[in-house]
Structure 1
Amino acid sequence: MKLRIAENFRAVFYAPFYAIRALGLAAREGLEVEWLVSGAPGSTIGEVKRGGIDAQWGGPMRVLKDHDSSPEDGARLVCFGEVVGRDPFYLVGKRNQPAFGAGFNLQHLGALRLGVVSEVPTPWYCLRADLEEAGVNTAAMRSRGRLVDNLTMAEQLEALAAGKLDVVQLFEPYASQALAAGNAILYAASSRGPTAYTAFITSRDSAAKRRDEFAALERATQVMLDWLAAEGPARLARVTASFFPDVPQELLGPAFERYHRAGLWSRTTTVSEPGFERLAHSLQAGGFIARRAAYAECVCDFQRSA
């Protein structure tokens, strides 16, 4: 059995996917995987839809967007094998800003200069829903110039250090870099609860043709999740360090530890239905999709259906 699988982009919170490869877990299930590097987020989705690539990992938001905007045919996307079940982003800022008073809460952001992620859409749509539910008018923030959405995470860090932004939205290892510079995590998006964040994505046609292969991939993924629960984040950092040559181990270890404590990585490959619905709500509320496709339309479970 063979599969061609592309990564979405290189990211610390994707470490469990690299652990599948590093530990040889797919091969133990009789599966030969060609792991492909992706140059930019979502850049291989077209090949997945055409069948040139069997699957990639990425956000179920791409499946929801595809259902909202593409024809109902065999190229339509589905997802399976959840690995990241919570939001990996943080809001980071100066520890003792006068605006916070007795402590930080999301309502404070309405009066602050906030930088949000520009590289991918999901973090902002999820944060936007959190803010609106907390009573923050994000449209007013934008109109008053308090919402900056055109900076990379590295540029956000520079703007924070220069005093041009009060709070920035980052994932690891940028969050750890910010902490090392004396900043504080003000809000962990993982505290929102289940949010379907990363799973494998394939097309309906490939799902029908590759049921045995994808079932084997799901089994390998479950073995990895069980291994991670037993071995812990320090072991994950050692096993996957070679995938992050530019991230010092003194940053990688604490980053994995924070993610592990937050329950970022799923315990089962079944895509969380509450997490999927929360993601769909955030995307629709922010106007990223017009129609919320049903969970059953978008999600496969190859082990249950075997």
Structure 2
Amino acid sequence: MSAQHGARILRDGFRGCKRCATLSRMTMHPITIQEPFRAVFYAPFYAALARGDYAAEGVEVTLRTGTIPANAKDAVLAGVADLAWGGPMRILLAHEADPASPLRNFGAVVMRDPFFLLGRAPRPEFTLADLAGLRLGTVAEVPTPWWTLQEDIRQAGLDPTGLDRVTDRSMAENLAALAAGELDVIQVFEPFVTLAEETGAAHVWHSAAHRGVTGYTSFTSSTERMQARRAEFKAMLRGLAKTLAWFAATPAEAIAALLADYYPDLPPARLARCIARYKALGLWTETPFYPEEAFTRLETAMLSAGAITRRPGFAATADNGLLAEAMAGWQ
């Protein structure tokens, strides 16, 4: 299914009958959703809860907080959560280990890479080929940012294995090392970018979002749970569609005000600047349709990085059919 076809399903799907919505709400089971960790680029997931978009579709959703990204899918497999959100790369890794893995992705939200390269001084003509000879601090907390960056570096004609790269520091530590002159360039996401700009410590050299659509965050569940809770998951997708449309049309300041309780350590003005930057980059989708192109770009990066040894393929790991069902004959 093409992205254009997916968008048409969503557009036409909101034209259905209200009576169907009323009937479906009578049989909804409460749903538990697992958070991988708290991050600004996950903002739409919190907005769906804060706005009550799931509840408006008749399903009660409880957030199970998390701090370890790799554990989100495990919560689904263990049955302590009905679904999670997180990187599709986790499902590719699961299918690498076991081609019969029951895990699937559906409901796209983050379809561009949310990471950046920062340097101490402005460098508007920077290209990835310029990393040769520079000391680079990459993200240690999660692997996907390096996997996608190393693929882009290869495409720029540079061997990523030959870079002078520091791999064992947190993003906060790398930002401090950059300011101290111990590193030349660092890889971080928001809010570190906005914080660095506010303090004058660093400037953006490269936005990974420009690599094109890339499967970064979606819902994850098992095939068994997707059948057992099909009505609830379809209701959630309808709610998520409303969230994403609202997110696209709403100023960053209003979004930040709504989500302040989810980011207690971020001043609202800083959170608004983070959200505005991501909105300008087109980080978040306007519908929950998962483009196969985004999956393939992620799969290719993981393959060249050696994270997987074969291509499991979109059909084996993702499901847009649930979304098509959710939006058919609905308003």
Q: Does 1:92 align with 2:114?
A: no
**In structure 2, C-alpha distance between the alignment counterparts of 1:254 and 1:14, rounded to whole Å:** 15
Residues 122-147 of structure 1: CA deviation (Å, up to 9, x unaligned): 11100010111101111111xxxx10
Amino acid at match of 1:274: E
Q: Out of 220, 231, 235, which is 2:254 matched to?
A: 235
Does 2:156 match 1:138? no
Q: Which runs of 4+ in 1 moved over 4 A?
A: none
* Code of the aligned partner of 1:32: E
Q: What TM-score do you get using the length of structure 2 for normalisation? A: 0.87
Q: 1:201, CA displacement in angstroms?
A: 0.4
Q: Tell me if 1:45 matches 2:64.
A: no
Distance apart, 1:71 and its partner CA: 5.1
Structure 2 CA distance, aligned partners of 1:19 and 1:86?
A: 19
Shift of 1:8: 1.0
Gaps of at least 5 residues in structure 1 are none
* Aligned-residue RMSD, C-alpha: 1.3
Paired residue secondary structure (1:30): coil
Whole-angstrom CA distance in 2 between matches of 1:179 and 1:272: 33
Q: CA deviation at 1:178?
A: 1.3
Distance in 2 (CA, whole Å) between partners of 1:39 and 1:185 is 27
Superposed, which structure 2 residues align to 1:243-262 within 5 Å?
A: 243-262=262-281
CA deviation after TM superposition for structure 1 residue 50, in Å: 3.0
Indicate the SS of the match to 1:214. Answer: helix
**How high is the sequence identity, in percent, across the aligned residues?**
41
| Aligned mates of 1:34, 1:242 — CA distance in 2 | 16
Equivalent residue number for residue 28 of structure 1: 56
Residue 104 (structure 1) shift: 1.0
Give the one of 291, 316, 319 matched to 1:272: 291
Instruction: Give the number of equivalent residue pairs.
Output: 296
Match of residue 285 from structure 1: 304
Q: Aligned equivalents of 1:86 and 1:103: distance in 2?
A: 22
**Stretches of structure 2 lacking an aligned partner (at least 5 in a row):** 1-27, 327-331
Q: Distance in 2 between matches of 1:275 and 1:132?
A: 19
Q: Deviations over 1:138-197 (max 9, x none)?
A: 1111xxxx1011010000111001100000001000111111232210000001110011
The residue type paired with residue 303 of structure 1 is: L
Cα pair 1:31 1:213 within 8 Å, conserved: yes
CA distance in 1, matches of 2:316, 2:255: 33
Partner of 1:125: 147
Deviates more, 1:18-27 or 1:229-238: 229-238
**Aligned AA (2:111):** G
SS in 2 for 1:41: coil
Q: Secondary structure at the match of 1:186?
A: strand
User: AA paired with 1:212?
Assistant: A
Q: Cα distance, 1:233 vs. partner?
A: 2.0
The alignment's TM-score, normalised by the length of structure 1, stands at 0.94
Query: What aligned pairs does 1:1-306 form with structure 2 within 5 A after superposition?
Result: 1=28, 2-70=30-98, 72=100, 76-96=102-122, 103-141=125-163, 146-182=164-200, 183-301=202-320, 302-305=322-325
Contact 1:16/1:236, CA 8 A, preserved across alignment: no
Q: Can you list the C-alpha shifts for 1:178-232, whole angstroms capped at 9, x where unaligned?
A: 1123221000000111001100100111112111111111111000011112213
Structure 2 CA distance, aligned partners of 1:205 and 1:291? 25
Query: What is the alpha-carbon distance in structure 2 between the residues aligned to residue 136 and residue 206 of structure 1?
Result: 44
Deviation readout 1:12-44 (Å, 9 max, x if unpaired) = 110110000100111100001111001211213
Distance 1:47 1:107 in 2: 40
Q: Secondary structure at the match of 2:61?
A: strand
2:132 partner SS: helix
1:51 touches 1:203 (CA, 8 Å); kept in 2?
A: no
SS class of match (1:39): coil
